[in-house]
């Protein structure tokens, strides 16, 4: 944390012009009614860059050498405000912690644009929090089957609400194709809802913001996202059944195959198994099958779970649990995770569970 801006560093380089106004980003302002807040912090993405103390009159100032615009967040207590700081373009920022949403900015047209977009993002966050709270309340004391039915209803509502936000973010980004305001809007999207929009935007800005670390990370993440996006070839899976028979995902070409990543110790996976079994019987004559990929490391537990849950489809595992290469190949962060692969071997859908899986199969295999 700094108590002062790097003035001494600038003085030492004054005669070679290293700290000219054209090479400095600057934001100054005032925080009214700060309460217990003593510092203002500055973030680039999730990385904290610096923080400064509030001075007399609750004023602050942040200054740093830069040769290009930077997309930062000003953090004041639990409130974060996106700003775009451009060299030679001082930003004035004022906020009142009694009314944190009613902040003001001057001197930066792009930050002013972000302020206009802020209500859409706040609305999205409100909807997310409200749906989560409502789901938690309504599922209290319910059985696993009842929770799964309710999960489908809330997930449908969640995707519907976020679809509207996705449209707003894309429209805003289209108006700001060549600057960081557009990037900010797209960076707030949920990959589970806006996968194609994120990938498309990353490809559109492939040659832009080359020296911006935050944007570069976004582009790299979008490339990884695309590799497992709907429409892309599903990565090959090579593993072994409980009787040590080799199996490949490519062996299932010609069928709609649900690749189900699960484990005997995973309670949500075991709760979903009866639904998968139901859909397997309902649609297997129409070209649907399942390939179970277990993240177990104990063969006894794995085989007992297969028997207890009456799983009739092909099961494979390398018994390496979270050390399995498939974790990296399919970017598995939690289970259950599933990929529905079409007869040509391309990803058709992801993470379909409960009613959502049934509805998708009915629509696809009618």
Token pair, residue 346, equals 């391309």
Q: How confident is the model at residue 326 (pLDDT cuts 50, 70, 90)?
A: very high
**pLDDT at position 145:** 66
Among candidate residues 263, 243, 258, 235, the one with its CA nearest the CA of residue 322: 263
- How many other C-beta atoms are found inside a 10 Å radius of the C-beta of residue 305? 22
**Helix (H) and strand (E) counts in the chain:** 10, 15
Per-residue pLDDT tens for 131-154? 889 888 888 888 766 776 777 777
The pair of three-digit structure tokens given for residue 37, joined into one six-digit string: 């807040």
Residue 337's SS3 state is strand
Question: Can you state the percent helix, strand and coil of the chain, rounding each to 5?
Answer: 45, 25, 30
Position 43 pLDDT exceeds 80: yes
Burial of 99 (0-12, 13-18, 19+ CB in 10 A): exposed
Q: Which helix (H) or strand (E) is 119 found in, with range?
A: helix 109-138
Share of residues in the chain with pLDDT > 90 (%): 77
At a CB cut-off of 8 Å and minimum separation 6, what does 56 contact? none
Question: What confidence category does residue 21 fall into, taking pLDDT thresholds of 50, 70 and 90?
Answer: low
Specify the domain boundaries for CATH 3.40.30.10 within the chain. 238-364
Say how many residues make up the chain: 366
- Please, what is the Cα angle at 32 between 113 and 119, to 5 degrees? 30
The region, left, alpha or beta by phi > 0 then psi within -120 to 50, assigned to residue 263 is: beta
pLDDT-above-70 percentage for the chain = 93
Q: CA 285, 289, 293 angle in degrees (round to 5)?
A: 165
DSSP string, 49-78: EEEEE--GGGEEEEEEE-SS-EEEEEEETT
Residue ranges, CATH 2.60.40, the chain:
7-107
Per the structure block, which two tokens stand in for 344?
């040509």
* Domain boundaries 238-364, CATH class: alpha beta
**β-sheet bridge partners, residue 360:** none
Q: Find the mean pLDDT for residues 291-311.
A: 97
Residues 275-296 have pLDDT tens digits of 999 999 999 999 999 999 999 9
Looking at domain 7-107, its CATH class is mainly beta
The per-residue pLDDT for 16 is 37
The band of 313, judged by pLDDT with boundaries at 50, 70 and 90, is very high
Answer for the pair 90, 27: CB distance below 8 angstroms, yes or no. Answer: yes
Rg (CA), the chain: 26
Q: How far is CA 10 from CA 6, 25, 29, 85, in A?
A: 7, 13, 21, 19
- Of 278, 238, 273, 280, nearest to 257 (Cα)? 280
Least confident of 13-27, 70-84, 106-120, 123-137: 13-27
pLDDT band at 233 (very low <50, low <70, confident <90, very high): very high
The predicted model scores a pTM of 0.81
């Amino acid at each position: 944390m700094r108590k002062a801006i790097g003035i001494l560093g600038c003085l030492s380089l004054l005669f070679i012009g290293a700290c000219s106004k054209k090479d400095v980003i600057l934001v100054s302002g005032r925080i009214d009614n700060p309460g217990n807040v003593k510092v203002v912090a500055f973030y680039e993405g999730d990385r904290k860059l610096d923080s400064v103390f509030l001075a007399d009159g609750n004023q602050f100032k942040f200054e740093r050498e830069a040769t290009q615009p930077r997309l930062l967040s000003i953090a004041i207590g639990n409130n974060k405000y996106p700003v775009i700081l451009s060299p030679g373009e001082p930003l004035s920022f004022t906020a009142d912690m009694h009314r944190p949403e009613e902040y003001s900015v001057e001197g930066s047209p792009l930050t002013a644009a972000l302020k206009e977009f802020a209500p859409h993002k706040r609305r999205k966050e409100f909807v997310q929090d409200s749906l989560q709270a409502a789901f938690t309340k309504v599922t209290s004391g319910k059985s696993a089957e009842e929770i799964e039915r309710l999960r489908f209803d809330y997930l449908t509502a969640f995707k519907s609400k976020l679809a509207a936000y996705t449209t707003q973010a894309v429209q805003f980004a289209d108006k700001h194709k060549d600057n960081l305001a557009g990037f900010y809007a797209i960076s707030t999207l949920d990959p589970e809802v806006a996968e194609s929009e994120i990938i498309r935007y990353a490809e559109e800005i492939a040659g832009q913001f080359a020296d911006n670390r935050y944007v570069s990370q976004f582009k790299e993440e979008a490339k990884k996202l695309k590799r497992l996006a709907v429409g892309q070839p599903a990565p090959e899976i090579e593993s072994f059944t409980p009787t040590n028979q080799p199996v490949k995902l490519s062996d299932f070409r010609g069928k709609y195959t649900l690749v189900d990543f699960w484990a005997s110790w995973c309670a949500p996976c075991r709760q979903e198994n009866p639904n998968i079994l139901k859909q397997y019987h309902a649609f297997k004559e129409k070209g649907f099958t399942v390939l179970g990929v277990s993240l177990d490391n104990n063969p006894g537990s794995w085989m007992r779970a297969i028997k207890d849950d009456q799983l009739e489809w092909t099961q494979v595992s390398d018994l390496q649990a979270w050390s399995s290469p498939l974790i990296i190949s399919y970017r598995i962060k939690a289970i259950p995770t599933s990929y529905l692969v079409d007869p040509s071997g391309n990803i058709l859908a992801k993470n379909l569970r409960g009613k959502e899986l049934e509805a998708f199969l009915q629509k696809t295999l009618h």
